[in-house]
Amino acid sequence: MVVIGKKKYQSGEGAQFMTRRAALRKLQLTLNDFRKLCILKGIYPREPRNRKRAQKGEPGIKTLYHKKDIQFLMHEPIIWKLREYKIFNKKIGQAKAMKDFAKVKIYLSNHPTLKIDHIVKERYPTFIDALRDLDDCLTLCFLFSTFPSLPHIPRDQSLLCRRLTIEFLHAVIAAKALRKIFVSIKGYYYQAEIKGQMITWIVPHHFCFEPQAKNEVDFKVMSIFVEFYIVMLGFVNYRLYHTLNLHYPPKLINSENIEKALVDEETYVSERISALNVSLVNLDSSVPTIEDDNIEIDQFSNETDAAKIEAAKAEAEKIKNLKNLFKGIKIFINREVPREPLVFILRCFGGEVSWDKLLFVGATFDENDETITHQIVDRPSMIKQYISRYYVQPQWVFDSVNAKELLPIEKYLMGAVLPPHLSPFTEGRQDQTYIPPEERALMDPDYKLNNLEADSEEEEEENKEDKNENEEEKTENDLSSGSDEEMEEEEENDDNDVQIDEEKEKEKMKKQVQLQKKKMKVQTGEILKENSWEKARLEKQEYRLREKMIKKKHRKLYQSMMKGREGRAKEIWLLRKKRRIHDAKEKEKRKEQRKANRSNK
């Protein structure tokens, strides 16, 4: 009997992977439709272990997909809708070419529409799953909300993104879920805690839109992602509003009392909602709002560490205080300060906010209100100032939230040089990273004290040097003005010194005799000190032997790890060097200023 085995590449990785061209042939789709389908379904190219086997021995690097993923796409009903789009475009093209505008009108009225609701439910079966994957969704929606009408983006997409993102911000304000903020060059980094899930997103700064070349940014692919994310964010917002007992879509408390003379009531309500300054209507007024002020941490067993429980209680107390950080504070925002991020942050923590009525709708009180406690200003000086309020720079708000307490206002007053704005997202940082002195001072208070002591020591040394110089000058003057009386006193002292020397010699002889007696006694042994150089040499030798014991398949990985470690160490060294140069220059400046001040005195 002749046993016929399987042919080459019919099993293993050769049978598991499929090229993009083969996938397009199997699904009978164009490249654009296939790309859209993969984005909506969340299917991406895979990297095989052995590329030669996966590509069936073909050279080069090809885009490979798993065979099971392509089979999963074959059962998707959206494929039929994409084919309908293709037929629709052909019919419209033919009708336009024939100038049959009656047919064009009929075709446009029966335009096929794509629904993605079932895909969102399929990809995120539970609400927690959707919250876990909300970071990219929010970042991209906030980005598209700033875009004008662009050629490759549907007309109403940016407006819908704007509406959904504002709704999400209202939900965060109602839940008091914001935890961290950081202002960077990219924009505002926010982190909120919803249902125990940490959600981090970026809101870009409000600048004028800069047009991009087609090669730099593929807006068509980005708009496909946004098409999916819009539906997803709509689902999340609906669920969030109902868990918070809020009406969805959001309604204002005073929207019923709007005058009938308004031309467009919808735009008025939408602008008031986007102001983020008014609370929304509850779904059921009989149900009281849930406030978790009294948080109790359950202890399920006695084995749990008491220190961990105490730390958890302290963290819970901090979050409780953070939720009402700006409660009872009335803040007015100047027109040069970015309004939306500050209103969102202050409202999240219980503060009352307003701005100039001419700037935007939704202002609740004027600048001349005497009950205002703080005014946020981003200019060096103001002509008209009120004594009853503090004039603070915007960074005070961000730093107070990150510190989870109201920081002292002296460092953030109008026109003051601000302290460094540090990122709160570097808690779980890796080893071998450069930590600036300002951040280290916040983490370790002793480090700050040491620095202050060092500065004070420098000042003391300088003062001592000045005193010594003055004393030397005085002694020189005293020596020049010597008298004959001092010479007579010195002669009397010489006779006394001779007697003292004789007594000292006798004492020395006694000590020598005692030392000789001690040497005759048994002495305790001394521990031999290790040679540090020899110890370091042996450790290096052992380390090299351990390196040689690494297996061949892990050797390249180890080498890349060591290379990365060396690179990080070099970066730290360079940053420390820069800091040393900067500090040296600052010290020289301080010395020059002190000298100048002394000379003026």
3-state per-residue secondary structure call for 242-304:
HHCCECCCCCECCHHHCCCCCCCHHHHHHHHHHCCCCCECECCCCCCCCCCCCCCCCCCCCCC
> CB 38: neighbour CB atoms within 10 A?
19
Residue 8 carries which side chain, given as an amino acid letter?
Answer: K
- Judged against a pLDDT cut of 90, whether residue 9 lies above it is answered with no
Mean pLDDT of the chain, nearest integer: 82
- Helix or strand or coil: residue 497? helix
Residue with tokens 């160490």: 569
CA–CA dist 223, 124 (Å, integer): 20
CA–CA dist 93, 87 (Å, integer): 10
Query: Per residue in 170-197, pLDDT tens?
Result: 999 999 999 999 999 999 999 999 998 9
- Judged against a pLDDT cut of 50, whether residue 258 lies above it is answered with no
- 353, 333 Cβ separation under 8 angstroms: yes
- Judged against a pLDDT cut of 70, whether residue 463 lies above it is answered with no
Residue with tokens 């071998």: 432
Q: Which of 211, 227, 221 is nearest to 149 (CA)?
A: 211
pLDDT score of 465: 62
Q: Which of 305, 284, 601 is nearest to 466 (CA)?
A: 601
The DSSP symbol for 344 reads H
pLDDT score of 478: 54
Tell how strand 17-19 and strand 64-66 pair up: antiparallel
Name the token pair of 560. Answer: 């890349």
Please state the rounded mean pLDDT for residues 119-134. Answer: 93
CA–CA dist 115, 124 (Å, integer): 16
Query: Per residue in 272-299, pLDDT tens?
Result: 888 888 888 787 766 655 555 455 555 5
- 437, 419 Cβ separation under 8 angstroms: no
Q: How confident is the model at residue 140 (pLDDT cuts 50, 70, 90)?
A: very high
What is the biggest distance separating any 2 CA atoms in the chain, rounded to whole angstroms? 136
- Judged against a pLDDT cut of 60, whether residue 451 lies above it is answered with no
Residue 133 carries which side chain, given as an amino acid letter?
Answer: D
* Out of 93-102, 128-137, 210-219, least confident range: 210-219
Compute the half-sphere exposure of residue 493: CA atoms within 13 Å on the CB side of its CA: 6
User: What are the boundaries of each domain within the chain?
Assistant: 13-109, 117-208+217-274, 321-424, 431-456+564-601
Please report the sign of the dihedral spanned by the C-alpha atoms of residue 211, residue 216, residue 220, residue 225: negative
CA–CA dist 307, 317 (Å, integer): 15
Q: Which of 335, 410, 345, 422 is nearest to 379 (CA)?
A: 335
- Greater confidence, 514 or 541? 541
Query: Per residue in 356-391, pLDDT tens?
Result: 888 888 888 888 888 999 999 998 888 888 888 999
Query: Per residue in 321-353, pLDDT tens?
Result: 888 888 889 999 999 999 999 999 999 998 899
- Helix or strand or coil: residue 91? helix
Name the token pair of 237. Answer: 């917002």
- Greater confidence, 379 or 495? 379
pTM greater than the 0.85 cutoff: no
- Greater confidence, 557 or 441? 557
- 352, 394 Cβ separation under 8 angstroms: no
pLDDT score of 600: 80
pLDDT score of 439: 75
Q: Which of 250, 206, 208 is nearest to 339 (CA)?
A: 206
The CATH topology of domain 321-424 is Rossmann fold (3.40.50)
pLDDT score of 21: 93
- Greater confidence, 528 or 205? 205
End-to-end CA distance of the chain: 113
Residues 6+ apart with CB under 8 A from 527: none
pLDDT score of 312: 80
- Judged against a pLDDT cut of 70, whether residue 445 lies above it is answered with no
| Cα→Cα distances 318→200, 262, 312, 321, 389, Å | 20, 46, 10, 5, 27
pLDDT score of 261: 45
Please state the rounded mean pLDDT for residues 241-259. Answer: 74
- Judged against a pLDDT cut of 50, whether residue 259 lies above it is answered with no
State phi, psi for 600 to the nearest 5 degrees.
-65, -35
- 173, 276 Cβ separation under 8 angstroms: yes
Query: Per residue in 230-244, pLDDT tens?
Result: 999 999 999 999 999
Please state the rounded mean pLDDT for residues 113-121. Answer: 90
Q: How confident is the model at residue 255 (pLDDT cuts 50, 70, 90)?
A: very low
Residues 6+ apart with CB under 8 A from 451: 437, 441
- Judged against a pLDDT cut of 90, whether residue 481 lies above it is answered with no
- Greater confidence, 5 or 106? 106
Please state the rounded mean pLDDT for residues 95-114. Answer: 89
